[in-house]
Amino acid sequence: MAARLAFNAGVDVATAVSFRSLITAAVVGLIVAGLRVRQRFTVRHRRMLPVIGLLIAVQSYCLYSAVARLPVALALTWLVAQSIAGKPFDRALEYNVRVLAQLVNVQNQRVQFNLPQPAREILRADDSDLIYYQVLGPRGELLSGERDLPLPSEEDKPLPGDAPLRDVYLRDAEMRGLDVRVAYTWVRLDLPGDPLALVQVAETREKRSVLATEIIKGVLLPQLVLLPLAVLLVWLALVRGIKPLSQLEERIRARKPDDLSPLDDHAVPMEVAPLVSSVNDLLTRLKDSIATQKRFLADAAHQLKTPLAGLRMQADLAQREGGSADELKQSLQQIGRSSIRATHTVNQLLALARAESSSAAIARLPCDLAELTTQVVRDLVPRALDRHIDLGYDGAQPGARGVQLAGNPTLLTEMIRNLLDNAILYTPSSPEKPGVITARVLADPFGHVLILQVEDSGPGIPEAERDLVFQPFYRALGTNVDGSGLGLPIVLEIANQHGASITLEDAHPGQAFPGLLVTLRFSTADQAAGE
């Protein structure tokens, strides 16, 4: 039960076992209190307490089997047997003390104690134990009995003026090197000042030990007889319970390194099923990750193959004999364009890999989406002017209400840059008819929505291809644009990490160049709740 608690609740086994030990101790304490077992310990009890405590500590951190419970069972049985065995003999001592106390009287202002000889013989008639008695007067003078019988502590002596004394007290003591059980009482005398006389009866503990031994034998012998059977049953249960785990281990060891198929969780114990399920989930995610890496490497090799082949061809053309200066210049220009294309592809691949690797947990910081967008627009204005494109920003200003969101500023900047790069790349433009690209940030603080839009005047994307363009290396047909096909996949990956939705639609429906309107919607409800 302690181990199951540890697996199910995430508590370590030591803590679970300790908690169970405390509960067990509390239950045993209630049972002892309900049976009214005396709480007074003898000298031997006190000597054994450290040993019992050590046994309990060792048992608490062992497996809860019959063998581990035996030391504690022995200790508890010994204590209970000692208490049970002592009760009838304690009652006999109390009776003897009361009888002797009735024999104490006052005659002629003198305290007397008269014990008939037959009563004296009956008092000492015991085959197993020695019985001692003592009667002391109010000044401590010995009236009868043994002089060397130990006296009770002064704290137990009643104060003058107390109510009539009837109680008989019990204590453990030592008499002539033997452990004895002493019953004593105080007798109030009919003299001026109400002096007290002390009556004590002591008995050695031989009969008690014999009876306690018989009780222990009667209780533990059946358990000792059944112990080998219990050990055998526990061993068989453990062997049977561990066998599925051993078989699972053998199947895992026999697997090939590239075998990432899920483990069979039907043949394992119920306690291990969550672990097997977690391992299967890990194997599935690892398989998907490896497949993604393989596909990414294959696509990257394919995309880099074309510009690298162009570079090699142009280099061969530049090195041929008899070529003119114009041809050499043209080859060098083509080499430059191919290198730019290859560099752009590599940068896009790195950006996509960085976005995918950070999908598990990204560092979220307060970001001003309007400020990030305006900064990217300013950075790309020179490139847009080279292509005769009117690039501008329209919408909420940096620092305005509702333009803040929790996200990764590096990834958000990369997302905005890819959106604008795509728009610049696919928007036709000329000095006579310049293209127009507008970046826009719209905030709705009451609806907790933040919108980012990029609108261009290009050919747009047909509705049938709007889902396909988010796949890596896919290019819309008929565009005749030398792109990498990674811009929108990067945008989609970063948007998913920030919980944003993305839609594609025509910016100017019905026109020859309908353009493209990319809209990203961010939810700021969590940020508003935090504020």
Stronger pLDDT, 277 or 31, i.e. the higher one:
277
Residue 129 included in any domain: no
One domain, residues 376 and 505: yes
Task: Judge residue 77's burial from the number of C-beta atoms within 10 Å of its C-beta, 0-12 exposed, 13-18 middle, 19 or more buried.
Answer: middle
Q: Rg of the Cα trace of the chain? A: 48
Which of residues 357, 377, 400 is at a domain's end? Answer: 357
Q: Give the residue among 524, 496, 526 at the shortest CA–CA distance from 359.
A: 496
| Residue 369 sits in the same domain as residue 451 | yes
Q: If pLDDT is split at 50, 70 and 90, which confidence band does 261 have?
A: confident
pLDDT of res. 67 = 47
Spell 411-430 as b/e; 16+ CB within 10 A means b.
bbbbbbbbbbbbbbbbbbbe
3-class SS letters over 79-132: HHHHHHHHHHHHHHHHHHHHHHHHCEEEECCEEEECCCHHHHHHHHCCCCCCEE
**Within 10 A of 517 (CB to CB), how many other CB atoms are there?**
19
Q: Please check the confidence at residue 65 and state whether its pLDDT lies above 90.
A: no
Average pLDDT (219-239) is 76
The answer on pLDDT for 2 being more than 60 is: no
Residues 515/506, Cβ–Cβ less than 8 Å: yes
Q: Is there a single domain that holds both residue 512 and residue 370?
A: yes
Boundary residue ending a domain (298, 331, 357): 357
**Please, which residues have CB within 8 angstroms of residue 457's CB and are 6 or more apart in sequence?**
427, 435, 436, 437, 507, 508, 513, 515
**Of 298, 330, 357, which one is at a domain's C-terminal end?**
357
Highest mean pLDDT pick, 12-21, 162-171, 362-371, 468-477: 362-371
- 312 with 341, same domain? yes
Which pLDDT value is given to residue 64?
A: 46
In a domain, 425, yes or no: yes
Is the same domain home to 288 and 426? no
Structural domain includes residue 369: yes
- Please check whether residue 331 lies inside any domain of the structure: yes
The answer as to whether 443 is a domain residue is yes
What does the block give as tokens for 140? 């401590």
Domain extent, residue 417, equals: 365-530
Residue 383, domain member (yes or no) = yes
pLDDT band at residue 7 under the 50/70/90 scheme: very low
Percent of the chain whose predicted confidence (pLDDT) is above 90? 12
Strand 365-368 to strand 142-145: parallel, antiparallel, or no bridges (unpaired)? unpaired
Q: Pick 148 or 272 by higher pLDDT.
A: 148
Q: What pLDDT score was predicted for residue 66?
A: 45
Q: Tell me: do 436 and 490 sit in the same domain.
A: yes
384 and 506 fall within a common domain:
yes
**469 and 523 share a domain?**
yes
Least confident of 4-8, 62-66, 335-339: 62-66
Residues 353 and 372 in one domain: no
**pLDDT band at 16; cut points 50, 70, 90:** low
Q: Is residue 95 in some structural domain? A: no
CATH of the domain at 383: 3.30.565.10
Choose among 496, 493, 518: nearest CA to 505. 518
Name the residue type at position 402.
G
* Average pLDDT of the residues in 218-227: 72
pLDDT tens string 390-432: 999 988 999 898 899 988 888 898 889 889 988 998 888 888 8
Instruction: Say whether both 467 and 374 belong to one domain.
Output: yes
Examine residue 159 and state whether it is found in any structural domain, yes or no. Answer: no
Structure tokens at 169: 């007290």
Q: Quick: pLDDT tens for 297-338.
A: 766 665 566 567 667 776 776 676 666 777 677 777 767 766
Q: For residue 198, with 0-12 CB atoms within 10 Å meaning exposed, 13-18 middle and 19 or more buried, which class applies? A: buried
Give the count of domains, the chain: 2
What does pTM read for this prediction?
A: 0.45
Instruction: Give the pLDDT of residue 465.
Output: 87
Answer yes or no: do 297 and 325 share one domain. Answer: yes
- CATH number of 290's domain: 1.10.287.130
pLDDT tens, position by position, 200-209: 999 888 887 8
Q: Position 527: which residue type?
A: Q
pLDDT band with cut points at 50, 70 and 90 for residue 521: very high
Domain match, 308 and 457 both: no
